[in-house]
Structure 1
Amino acid sequence: MTTIDLNTLPKPQVIQEIDYEAIVERQKQTFLGKWAAKRVLYPDLPMYSVEDLLTDPFTIDNEAESTREMILRAEINDVFRATLLYFARGGNLDHLAAQNDVVRLPGELDDRLLTRVLLAITGRSTGGPKERYQYLAMTADLRVEWAEPYRIGRSPVIYVAIFSTEVDGVASPDLLTKVRAALNAAGAQLVNDTIIVQAAVRKVANLAADIWLLPDADEATVARAEANLRSAWEIEQKLGRDLVTAWWVSRLMISGVHKVTPTSTADETAQPTEAISIGTVALTLKGRAY
């Protein structure tokens, strides 16, 4: 089954969105054309020659109306886009989700709800695609950040690795119990499938690097650099996400750090059912330099 990446599609438009300066110039030329036409009928009318003055009444009115038109065009397109799944947010997304028999969980944010709607749509096949099990797992509890179903060989046993919003992504026993109940409920699985729900494999990566500070940086900068790395990984950590050396070195380069040279240089790779956690971070202060 092919899943369309909605993020790659161009933004749809009901009405053309015109650049502000283009609207101003269009209105100006229309006004000057009408003024010239009136001078044909009324030769005593003076030439209009103050259109470039910021205090000119027409210039002020033209800029105000051009801004209004630009905003109105954008609002028309935004209202239309809100009827489309990828662009809908808040109540609009709730209604589109309901059309696919998906209801927002208490406290669920828009991005997660959108993910569940897409999983529900792609998981409708009677062949039992993995998106079906991912949808059911994420619907079982808000703490399920992601689920990865997989088989070993041709076995009818389906393993479902759960990545949680809990500490280090490790699913607690009560969360696994809830997901297990949801996936084994009547109508949730194919007749021949046996489902085993388990926490995602936690792979610990110990990091090491030499670090140099700028001359005016205090030594607490080293601890702040490590804290910045750990907090950044909490956001990025996901099932199957590799911990690349270039990435974690860049997160150590905070204000006050001159240079970081990793001494553990191998990228930490993760299988689709693994989540990498950062273990020890050994930063050796080598001195100061510009």
Structure 2
Amino acid sequence: MSTAIELAKLPPPQVIEALSYDEIYKQMEQALLEKLPDHALLASDPAIKLIEVASYRELLLRQRINDAAKSVMLAFSQGDDLDHLGALFGVGRDTDEADERYRQRIPLSLESYSMAGTRGAYEYHTLSANDQVKDVYVDSEQPGYVNIYALINTMTETQANAIKADIDTRLNDEDIRPLTDKVVTQWVMPTKATLSAQIYLNIGANKQQVELTILQSLDAFMAMNCKLGTEIPHSGIIDALHQPGVRKVKLLTPTEDLQPSVNQAYNLDINLQFPDEA
């Protein structure tokens, strides 16, 4: 099994401070009253405005400190900051590679130093072989035989076979594949499932804007869940559909959780209906 740390399971870092404007304001007000115990703060007092300005600026400063702390943590870093963290591991970003995929490859790279003998090393080298590989599952049914399942976007069989050729070339490099391993690679396309739902809007809600927000939410949901062996929870779909402006949701299909096998992934064909009736 892979020994790469699952970043999502790490506890929240203590250096990241929970921020509250009201709490900062109260602290500053109390500090002022301690310095001027005989002073009565009235709503019209100019000191009130100074406290408000100072509290807001301190809130921004603390948020900047939080952001700076996150920028050097693999679990939270984004964009160019993540590129610099990847450089520490000797892992460059593929062209147009999304942060989440790049973040997944960086800790896996540590296992690659032992050649492709571990599950994590095979995962790393498969992901690095072609940027169209979205996820990887590795197993071995008998000693010396390694099965690689590479999840790719839906495309033509010719394109899929070209990606498989890139993976084969990478994994069979003499500096990567252990001499005793026979590697068998297979490409996997997501299994299609229909998401059909009736969306009831609040009075006055902008249908186009709500629909756009829902589709963006579903894109983010599928990016997290369209992976090999990853469950598509029924409740998660409803949560993704229930965006601001939505009064209620009737999810017609799927009617239950979608549970793929370890070498299977689901993708959703989206069919949204916006009935006029209440």
Query: Taking structure 1 as the reference length, what is the TM-score of the superposition?
Result: 0.69
Partner of 2:14: 12
> How does 1:129-148 map onto structure 2 within 5 Å?
129-148=118-137
Give the alignment partner of residue 79 of structure 1, picking from 68, 71, 77. Answer: 68
Using a 3 Å threshold, how does the CA distance of structure 1 residues 253 and 12 change in structure 2: closer, same or farther?
closer
Q: What SS does structure 1 have at the residue aligned with 2:109?
A: helix
Partner of 2:164: 176
Using a 3 Å threshold, how does the CA distance of structure 1 residues 77 and 177 change in structure 2: closer, same or farther?
same
Give the alignment partner of residue 178 of structure 2, picking from 174, 190, 199. Answer: 190
Using a 3 Å threshold, how does the CA distance of structure 1 residues 13 and 136 change in structure 2: closer, same or farther?
same
Residue 56 of structure 1 and its aligned partner are, at CA, apart by 1.8
- Supply the distance in 2 between the matched residues of 1:258 and 1:33 (Cα, whole angstroms): 53
Partner of 1:165: 153
Q: What SS does structure 2 have at the residue aligned with 1:92?
A: helix
Residue 189 of structure 1 and its aligned partner are, at CA, apart by 1.3
Partner of 1:270: 260
Partner of 2:39: 48
**In the alignment, residue 21 of structure 1 is paired with which amino acid?**
D
Q: What SS does structure 1 have at the residue aligned with 2:36?
A: helix
- Supply the distance in 2 between the matched residues of 1:146 and 1:11 (Cα, whole angstroms): 27
Bigger CA radius of gyration: 1
Spell out, residue by residue over 1:257-282, the C-alpha distance to the aligned partner (whole angstroms, 9 max, x if none).
Answer: 986667x9786542211234679x9x
Any conservation in 2 of the 1:170–1:199 contact (CA below 8 Å)? no
Give the alignment partner of residue 62 of structure 1, picking from 40, 51, 61. Answer: 51
Residue 6 of structure 1 and its aligned partner are, at CA, apart by 2.4
- Supply the distance in 2 between the matched residues of 1:113 and 1:258 (Cα, whole angstroms): 35
Q: What SS does structure 1 have at the residue aligned with 2:39?
A: coil
- Supply the distance in 1 between the matched residues of 2:29 and 2:239 (Cα, whole angstroms): 51
Spell out, residue by residue over 1:120-159, the C-alpha distance to the aligned partner (whole angstroms, 9 max, x if none).
Answer: 134444682111111111111111101212212x241211
Give the percent of matched residue pairs that are identical in Structure 1 and Structure 2.
Answer: 22
Any conservation in 2 of the 1:6–1:86 contact (CA below 8 Å)? yes
Give the unaligned 5+ runs of structure 2. Answer: 201-210
- Supply the distance in 2 between the matched residues of 1:257 and 1:28 (Cα, whole angstroms): 44
Using a 3 Å threshold, how does the CA distance of structure 1 residues 83 and 237 change in structure 2: closer, same or farther?
closer
- Supply the distance in 2 between the matched residues of 1:151 and 1:28 (Cα, whole angstroms): 65
- Supply the distance in 1 between the matched residues of 2:77 and 2:133 (Cα, whole angstroms): 23
Any conservation in 2 of the 1:161–1:197 contact (CA below 8 Å)? yes
C-alpha root-mean-square deviation of aligned residues, in Å?
A: 4.3
- Count of equivalent residues: 256
Partner of 2:228: 239
Partner of 1:97: 86
Partner of 1:21: 22
Any conservation in 2 of the 1:201–1:275 contact (CA below 8 Å)? yes
Q: What SS does structure 1 have at the residue aligned with 2:147?
A: strand
Any conservation in 2 of the 1:157–1:196 contact (CA below 8 Å)? yes
- Supply the distance in 1 between the matched residues of 2:23 and 2:236 (Cα, whole angstroms): 43
**In the alignment, residue 35 of structure 2 is paired with which amino acid?**
K
Residue 59 of structure 1 and its aligned partner are, at CA, apart by 0.3
Give the unaligned 5+ runs of structure 1. Answer: 37-46, 214-223, 282-287
